[in-house]
Chains A and B, each alone.
Chain A
Amino acid sequence: MEYKGCSPGESVLVDQACEKVLTELECDFVGLALQNTDGPDVKWHYAAGNSNEKYKRITVRYGKGIAGKVISTGRPMYVDNFPENIAGKALEYPIMLAEGLKHAYAVPIHFNGVPKGVLLIGNRSEQPISESRQSTARDAARTLEKKLNG
């Protein structure tokens, strides 16, 4: 079963929030992944700036992929100059491959203090994600957290 935390109205709000992050951070892609309510798998639910619909079908296991790793560790993760500077194989980063991202920064989203989601910002261009943009992404994650926690 998939995450069912949002009503259709709330979904629109989350979509809008992703679009806002995309504009504010001037990045190429914004995605929101959430852990399923009745299992450990993590699925990409919302995106802005996406180049295709592949993200909707991507599910990663807890601890796998960027989303699974960020949720399992509860810490942000920066992927710089993909696939050059990565730990493991490029195939272990499905969202980077699906969206053709070169740089990405992912922040955990907490529900009742437990990491259950991930906000990811990414660039397809050679433009790395600066420390100030990373900080803004963390702030955006906190705002989104409040929205999702209702």
Chain B
Amino acid sequence: METQPAKKNISSYIIQSQEDEIKRIAQELHEGVGQTLYSLYTGMQFIQTAVDQPEMKGYIGDMAQMMEKTIQEIRLLAVELHPPALGTLGLLPALKSYLKLYTSTYGIIVDLQNEGKEVQIREQERITLFRVCQEALANIARYADTMSAGIILRWKPGKLSITIKDKGKGFDVDAAMKNSAGIAAMMERMLLINGKCIISSKIGEGTSIDITLPLY
């Protein structure tokens, strides 16, 4: 029979492997495929200037334009998969950048507040906190039926707490816990970094997700 620590290790291994793979694909897209396409793009621009035939010039120009769009798409896809800001600038800038994309995708305005000074935390913890916030916001877009939401980050000595709140439809937390893998995954992810995730919701009043992480 499996012991609880063994189960925890397996969950941790699966989540970590998945994150590593996502990061690898994002980097490969950005630094591999993206760079190669950029070389082709500059090559096409060079050919365009060298060609005299107007029809062919226009044709190559169209192809270069399409190539430019593809490069942009690949860059955006890589950022969506694994935001580079998460590794270089930290959790807060990565969240700010994600919220811009979130509002322009779902039309929901998110008020982000930060109290205290961001301290350096391990990359695995940054990724976990980011993914939990992403999942909470995705649930708001899918189910909450609201125009706005709020996120508050509080950096205190020894503890980081993040609250994601909305005044949407709300839901039955116990029933959702049984049916939704997303909510269970949020809690599991937080447990794996020794954090906590508490979900409270009232039908007709909204939802609040409180995540906390001890800081050492």
Contact = CB atoms under 8 A, between A and B. Distances in A.
B147 A59 contact: no
A58 B103 CA distance: 7
Interface string B85-104: 00000000000000000011
B76 A61 contact: yes
B106 A98 contact: yes
B118 interface: no
Contact of A54 (B72, B76, B106, B142): B106
A100 interface: yes
Nearest to A52: B147
Contacts of B138: 91
B145 interface: yes
Interface of B: 69, 72-73, 76, 103-109, 138, 141-142, 145, 147
Contact of A58 (B72, B73, B105, B147): B105
A56 B106 CA distance: 10
B43 to A, nearest CB: 22
A100 B107 contact: no
Contact of A55 (B76, B107, B109): B107
A99 B142 CA distance: 11
A30 to B, nearest CB: 17
A53 B146 CA distance: 11
Contacts of B147: 52-54
A57 B103 contact: yes
A59 B105 contact: yes
B106 A62 contact: no
A62 B69 CA distance: 9
Contact of B105 (A53, A60, A62, A63): A60
Interface in A11-58: 40, 52-58
A63 B69 CA distance: 11
Contacts of B108: 54
A148 B138 CA distance: 35
Interface string A62-85: 110000000000000000000000
A97 B141 contact: yes
A2 B107 CA distance: 16
Contacts of A63: 73
12 contacts: A40-B69, A54-B106, A54-B147, A55-B107, A57-B103, A58-B104, A59-B104, A61-B73, A62-B69, A91-B141, A91-B142, A100-B145
A97 B142 CA distance: 6
Contacts of A61: 73, 76
B76 A58 contact: no
A90 interface: yes
